[in-house]
Amino acid sequence: MSMEAGGTHLDDNPKSWHSFPLSPISQLPTELFVAILRLELLSTDSMAENTEYYASFYMRRLYSMRLVAKRWQETIDGTAAFWTFILSSLPPDVNNMTTIRSNNGPLSLIYSSQVSGNGINRLSPKDFLAAVAHARARWSAYSGPIVPEYLESPAPLLQQIKLWSNFVGGSGVKPLDLLGGYATSLRHVELSRVSIQWKLGMFAGLKSLTLEWVGQDGLKTRHLLNFLYASPYLEDLKLRNIYAAVEDTPPLALITLPHLHSISLFGCENDATECILRHICAPSCRSLFLSVFGSAADELIHNFLEDPGLPFEGILRAIHECNGISEFALHKYGFEWHTPAQDDKARKFHVHLECASLVAGIRWVERVLGSDPGLSVKFGSMSNVSDAVLDAIAPMS
């Protein structure tokens, strides 16, 4: 069997081997040899940021290593842990061999989001999943569009799911009953432009949650807070352009998330953003991104000023104190407050509020920092600065 994938020739049954002398590495005990090969192939324990690229690179490298020598081929083919990725961009025969060689091991299914080039899909989403339906009990990760036939029943071993669509949910599409409502085995969830049936208790024990352009199908803030409360080990939270209705409910207890290191709230409904910020405490947060646009930003700032001591304000103050510096940049339509560019490991925050009341924004930042030094002020796209703004920033200098 010989095939092309991603510009690399994948030969499943080489007719000849390189005639090099047996290398020292090939003479190592099998267990040590396998451990070295595993290090070379990189970790497959989690879905990377660019899963498609990583998985394609991994498979090309795996097949290249099989060509080195007969022992390499025999060892790789006989090690189930090496065979984990099922890719829509690969020929069905290659995926079939991966399924066989993986024995009873977990499988990560990745349907390419590309429409041309090396990542072009060879099967429709439904046919792609149908080809590995017999091994559904071993699915550990799925990245691709919604296929109700395979995603509306429980999958106990599925820990990572990334669902996407090219349209915003709520356009007459029947909401997906994700895993039949039994999705508590999931640890990493990313939903983009899809419509699902939101239920209390459907997610628990999450390590990462990303929602983009969702919520027109009945999402409420009580759902989000329920997911957070049930996920004390959550590490990463991203909510972008979501709509979540806020209900009149009794005040909820503060949700402490000691492992949450990254929070991103971008372009969400003001009420939902404020509700989340009021109810979570993340003492270990290293990165906070908050962006609110339009009249909602003015309302948000007003509420911040009226209610000092919100939990997330402690994050901003702690990161500022850790770095010893932050920058307040005024623009024509709002302001940004952020930590200057540093190395990736540094704690950082970025608050962008598109508001009409710059004076109110300045007063809020001043109150959060108190007497802490290190704040610099920058004038961005502003042709004229009012006396009121200059008077407000004077105490900062």
Q: Which of 106-120, 130-144, 204-218, 351-365 has the lowest mean pLDDT?
A: 106-120
**Higher per-residue confidence, 116 vs 384:** 384
Q: Which of 157-171, 264-278, 304-318 has the lowest mean pLDDT?
A: 157-171
Cα dihedral sign, 362-367-371-373: negative
The DSSP letter of residue 69 is -
Contact predicate 62/40, CB 8 Å: no
Does the pLDDT at position 44 exceed 80?
no
Does the pLDDT at position 15 exceed 60?
no
pLDDT per residue over 82-130, tens digit each?
Answer: 999 999 999 999 999 999 999 999 999 999 877 544 546 678 999 999 9
Does the pLDDT at position 277 exceed 70?
yes
pLDDT per residue over 181-213, tens digit each?
Answer: 889 999 999 999 999 999 999 999 999 999 999
Q: Which of 110-114, 213-217, 297-301 has the lowest mean pLDDT?
A: 297-301
**pLDDT for the residue numbered 379:** 84
pLDDT confidence band for 397 (50 / 70 / 90): low
> Alpha-carbon distance 19 to 69, whole Å?
9
> Alpha-carbon distance 187 to 339, whole Å?
30
The DSSP letter of residue 26 is G
Does the pLDDT at position 168 exceed 70?
no
Other CB atoms within a 10 A radius of the CB of residue 181 amount to 13
pLDDT confidence band for 5 (50 / 70 / 90): very low
Does the pLDDT at position 36 exceed 80?
no
> Alpha-carbon distance 40 to 26, whole Å?
14
The CA-CA-CA angle for residues 180, 182, 185, to 5°, reads: 135
* Phi, psi angle pair for 392, to nearest 5°: -70, -35
Stretch 250-259: mean pLDDT, rounded?
Answer: 85
Helices (H) and strands (E) in the chain, counts: 12, 17
pLDDT per residue over 74-83, tens digit each?
Answer: 888 999 999 9
The span from the first CA to the last CA of the chain, in angstroms, equals: 71
**pLDDT for the residue numbered 7:** 44
**pLDDT for the residue numbered 115:** 57
Stretch 338-347: mean pLDDT, rounded?
Answer: 78
b/e per residue, 82-116, with b = 16+ CB within 10 A? Answer: bbbbbbbbbbbebbebbbebbeebbbbbbbbbeee
**pLDDT for the residue numbered 98:** 96
pLDDT confidence band for 4 (50 / 70 / 90): very low
Does the pLDDT at position 69 exceed 60?
yes
SS3 of residue 2 by DSSP: strand
Output Rg (C-alpha) for the chain, integer angstroms: 25
**pLDDT for the residue numbered 34:** 79
Q: What's the mean pLDDT when you consider all of the chain?
A: 84
H-run or E-run covering 222: helix 221-229
Stretch 342-353: mean pLDDT, rounded?
Answer: 82
- Of all residues in the chain, the percent with pLDDT exceeding 70 is 84
> Alpha-carbon distance 287 to 321, whole Å?
14
CA atoms lying within 13 Å on the CB side of residue 352 = 13
Other CB atoms within a 10 A radius of the CB of residue 165 amount to 17
CA 89 to each of CA 103, 120, 255, 295, 376: distance values in angstroms, whole numbers, following the listed order: 22, 6, 42, 45, 50
**pLDDT for the residue numbered 313:** 87
Does the pLDDT at position 29 exceed 70?
yes
- The alpha carbon of residue 154 and the mean position of all alpha carbons in its chain are separated, in whole angstroms, by 23
Question: Considering only CA atoms, which of 250, 186, 236 is closest in space to residue 208?
Answer: 236
**Higher per-residue confidence, 197 vs 390:** 197
Question: Considering only CA atoms, which of 237, 191, 187, 184 is closest in space to residue 216?
Answer: 191
What single-letter amino acid sits at 131?
A
Contact predicate 258/234, CB 8 Å: no
Does the pLDDT at position 377 exceed 70?
yes
Does the pLDDT at position 180 exceed 60?
yes
**pLDDT for the residue numbered 92:** 92
> Alpha-carbon distance 336 to 380, whole Å?
10
Question: Considering only CA atoms, which of 191, 196, 128 is closest in space to residue 165?
Answer: 191
